[in-house]
Amino acid sequence: MGLKGGPTQDEVMAVSLFKLRINEGDVMADVGCGTGKISIRASDRCSHIYAIDRRAEAVEYAKQEIQTAEKTNITLIHGEAVEVLDDIDKLNCAFVGGSGNVETVLEKLVEKVDGRIVVNAVLLNTVYRTVKKMKELGIFVEALHIQVSRSYELVDDLMFKPINPVYIIVGEVKQ
């Protein structure tokens, strides 16, 4: 059984992680961690990851995925990101894969992060709100529209089928 809203497509994850500019030993927050896929991939370079989701079913799903991947440097936290982030020290980067209250989350992350914040969004309203808030906070770097199509067999030939577009919004905090 899958989890509603995830997982992040591999190609989108690759671009998002590249834009985070993760350095060896970084500490990262994964807000709205969903399936845990981003946390698991980033854990290869990060010394520690705080994977946060407010949905109990997401936390349970991510827990299984993290255990299967045998990752020990990921702390999985069930709760609202804004409250959870109060108990976390400084971060080198943060990925936001889901957040209904993106403005409040960004305000909190600006206090904690010394580095990149990357937000993935599929809804235009979330893109607008994220870019507006990042500009307000003076951290906006760029927004990308990622559209990936995958090949599949059709009548002894190849055709491409697009996956849903994703917007990647990048901010950078310099403490």
Tell me the C-alpha distance between 42 and 86, whole Å.
22
CATH architecture of 11-19+26-173: 3-Layer(aba) Sandwich (3.40)
Q: Quick check: 72 pLDDT over 90?
A: yes
Q: What's the whole-model pTM score?
A: 0.93
> Distance of alpha carbon 117 from its chain centroid, rounded?
9
Task: Tell me the angle at which helices 124-137 and 102-112 cross, rounded to the nearest 10 degrees.
Answer: 40
* Per-residue confidence (pLDDT) for residue 100, from 0 to 100: 78
Domain ranges of the chain: 11-19+26-173
> 117: closest CA among 142, 84, 154, 100?
142
Q: Quick check: 80 pLDDT over 50?
A: yes
Over range 132-155, report the average pLDDT.
96
Measured over the CA atoms of residue 87, residue 92, residue 95 and residue 96, the dihedral's sign is: positive
> 12-67 pLDDT, tens per residue?
999 999 999 999 999 999 999 999 999 999 999 999 999 999 999 999 999 999 99
Over range 71-91, report the average pLDDT.
95
> 91: closest CA among 22, 149, 151?
22
Phi-psi region of 32 (alpha: psi -120 to 50; beta: other; left: phi over 0): left
* Per-residue confidence (pLDDT) for residue 1, from 0 to 100: 47
